[in-house]
């Protein structure tokens, strides 16, 4: 079984050690800062890139992929900016928001392409109005455009893409239809591309919010993956998408109970891919 952990580690260093102590093969990280030299020597990290995300701000972190076990080998995909990418490189709209690698599972001789995604918050331009200050669905759509280059045929690909998208699934901010419609386009576009949403979702994908938030539809299967500074856990902002050919072999779970949560403001998402029959 291939074990993958998707985790926004909130620019902290402790999670690197936790990952080394885990029984996970591959980590898909967001908001990752460079590990210490001692820990880095024990890890194989994809992409020798600066630990930053392209921005007018000083965002000294990025999406990253790390190999954590000898059960797999890793071949990172070459990344470059859109204006500089060559034919053998994946063009990335915003460097630091996407990391991609091919994972070879030694036991099954199977190659799975994995992607770590992070949707950066953005703000409307001056003169756009003062209805809201930030949004992240635009960043999510840029990621989808970048991932499109990994798919050259309708069927047969084996891709798992996961991360913190900073959007909501199945509803909008404060229950507003406008935001629901915007967020729905992200999941619809991923599904149309060939990477449907596969979790985590209740009942076996983690604990649901308690007490139930007013904005959340009563029939929602969402599981909270984000904790506010006040300690409230109501919103799912981390999602996993996968090729249809892998869907029936996947189990996706948010480790979101109080004793599982960990040091970050986002909980860990465990992705398990069963071996081929």
Cα–Cα distance between 7 and 264 in angstroms, integer? 9
Asked if pLDDT for residue 131 goes beyond 90, the answer is no
Where are the domains positioned within the chain? 2-273
| Span 176-201, pLDDT tens digits | 999 999 999 999 999 999 999 999 99
State the residue for tokens 């630990």: 51
Report the chain's mean pLDDT, rounded to a whole number: 95
Chain position carrying tokens 């913190």: 164
- Under a CB-based contact definition with an 8 Å cutoff, are residues 98 and 149 in contact? no
Enclosing H/E stretch for 183: helix 177-193
- Predicted TM-score (pTM) above 0.95: yes
Residue 129, pLDDT above cutoff 90 = no
- Alpha-carbon gap, residue 247 to 249, rounded angstroms: 5
The C-alpha angle 194, 199, 205, rounded to 5 degrees, equals 160
Q: What is the pLDDT of residue 130?
A: 67
CA 263 – CA 267 distance, rounded (Å): 8
> Rounded to whole angstroms, how far apart are CA atoms 275 and 110?
9
Band of residue 47 on the pLDDT scale cut at 50, 70, 90 = confident
Summarised one tens digit per residue, pLDDT across range 5-21 is 999 999 999 999 999 99
Length of the chain: 277
CA distance 83 to 90: 11
Among candidate residues 111, 121, 102, the one with its CA nearest the CA of residue 30: 121
* 99 touches 57 (CB < 8 A): no
Q: Which residue has the tokens 């009942």?
A: 203
Looking at 3.60.10.10, 1.20.1260.10, 3.40.50.11540, 2.60.40.1250, the CATH number of the domain 2-273 comes to 3.60.10.10
Do 78 and 89 touch, CB atoms closer than 8 A? yes
Summarize the confidence of residues 74-93 as an average pLDDT: 96
């Amino acid at each position: 079984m291939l074990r993958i952990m998707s985790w926004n580690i909130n620019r902290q260093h402790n999670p690197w050690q936790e990952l080394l102590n885990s029984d996970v093969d591959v980590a898909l990280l967001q908001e990752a800062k460079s590990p210490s030299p001692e820990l880095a020597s024990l890890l194989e990290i994809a992409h020798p890139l600066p630990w930053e995300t392209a921005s007018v701000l000083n965002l000294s972190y990025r999406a990253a992929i790390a190999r954590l076990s000898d059960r797999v080998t890793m071949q990172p995909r070459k990344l470059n900016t859109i204006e500089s990418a060559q034919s053998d490189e994946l063009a990335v709209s915003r460097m630091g928001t996407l990391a991609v690698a091919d994972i070879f599972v030694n036991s099954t001789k199977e190659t799975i392409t994995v992607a770590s995604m992070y949707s950066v918050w953005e703000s409307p331009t001056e003169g756009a109005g003062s209805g809201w200050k930030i949004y992240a669905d635009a960043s999510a759509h840029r990621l989808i455009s970048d991932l499109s280059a990994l798919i050259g045929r309708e069927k047969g690909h084996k891709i798992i893409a996961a991360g913190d998208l900073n959007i909501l699934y199945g509803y909008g901010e404060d229950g507003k239809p406008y935001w629901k419609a915007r967020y729905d386009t992200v999941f619809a576009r991923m599904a149309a591309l060939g990477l449907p949403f596969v979790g985590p979702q209740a009942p076996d994908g983690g604990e649901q919010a308690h007490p139930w938030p007013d904005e959340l539809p009563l029939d929602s299967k969402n599981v909270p993956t984000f904790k506010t500074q006040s300690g409230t856990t109501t919103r799912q902002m981390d999602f996993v998408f996968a090729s249809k050919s892998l869907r029936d072999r996947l189990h996706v779970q948010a480790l979101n109970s109080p004793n599982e949560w960990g040091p970050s403001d986002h909980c860990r998402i465990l992705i398990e891919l069963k071996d081929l029959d």
